Amino acid sequence: MADRVCVVIGDLSVDFLSTVDEVDAAPRLADGRDVNVDSGSQLRIGGTAWLFSEALMDKSDTRPLILSTVGEDLAGEFIRSHVASVGLASEGIEVPTGFATSTCSMTYFADKQRLMLYPSSAPKGSSTEHVNQFLTVAQQRSPTCTWLSGHTVNKSSAEWRKLLRLVCDSMRDAGSRVVVDLVPHRFREAVGELDLVDGLLGVVDGVVGELPTLLELVDLPAGHARGVEGQMKQLAELTSRRYRLGVVQGRFDQGSYGQAVALDGDLISWQREPLAGRSLRGLGDQLSVDALIVAQFL
């Protein structure tokens, strides 16, 4: 039996991760003081396409089919080699000449804050020829879901946005549900309103977003729910009336993180996860896969 497939459209990067365990490090930086610590570090593959693909493989039997770009350099070769080494198709990853692979330096602080720096970025989007070749492969695999990172839209060219619409239309024609991850988290400022998303991508079957992101994008009715949990549930229901699936994720305090999932206007799942002993890296993607499973989008 052929593997179930989810098309994943997003960025790929090489990430340098470090952790600062000193609880006063972030306040000291905010006060303008230096922080000098010995820190453990890791070199990992990252980017929205990979973090979601990793979660998909960890939590389901659905295989990711990635559409992305990397540079013509050692970092790009590292990414493509790793993707192939875990048994995934790498032909959806284009290598345009003359560009560097995206890199990110990410520091985690004791209270779960993150500092993310991007020294280099690969071009947003793939060529027309590459997209057409990818669609031939993807349509043969009959993907159940298409996951699109908002990072692919942010600061992208008009040509790439037209190609994104082609991909979404083609995947819907192949029976795939299109779900948009509303990142970066300052989505309204970086990309625009939900009307812009609909205009660019056509029929969208679901959206996933952080609570602060959706509070900027969706007008809550008078007498709306109060508190983090109430707002998350209400926003999930509201977005699932506009689309089919609405997923709202949010942080309650320094110790927990939650997710509300609604389908066709009704809340179908509520999760609240402790953060003790867990990294924030990829947590939202792990919960997103849970949401797609409970909604039967995977």
Of 202, 13, 17, nearest to 123 by C-alpha is: 13
Predicted TM-score (pTM) of this structure: 0.91
**pLDDT for residue 273 is more than 90:** no
Which position has the token pair 């990110």?
Answer: 104
pLDDT of residue 1: 45
| Tens-digit pLDDT profile for residues 280-294 | 789 999 999 999 999
CA angle 264, 65, 158 (to 5 degrees): 75
pLDDT of residue 3: 81
**pLDDT for residue 223 is more than 80:** no
**pLDDT for residue 254 is more than 80:** no
Of 17, 255, 224, nearest to 117 by C-alpha is: 17
| Tens-digit pLDDT profile for residues 61-80 | 999 999 999 999 999 999 99
**How large is the average pLDDT for residues 183-197?**
93
Write down the mean pLDDT value for the chain. 91
**How large is the average pLDDT for residues 192-204?**
94
Q: Which helix (H) or strand (E) holds 9?
A: strand 4-9
Instruction: Give the residues across from 16 on adjacent strands.
Output: 43, 105
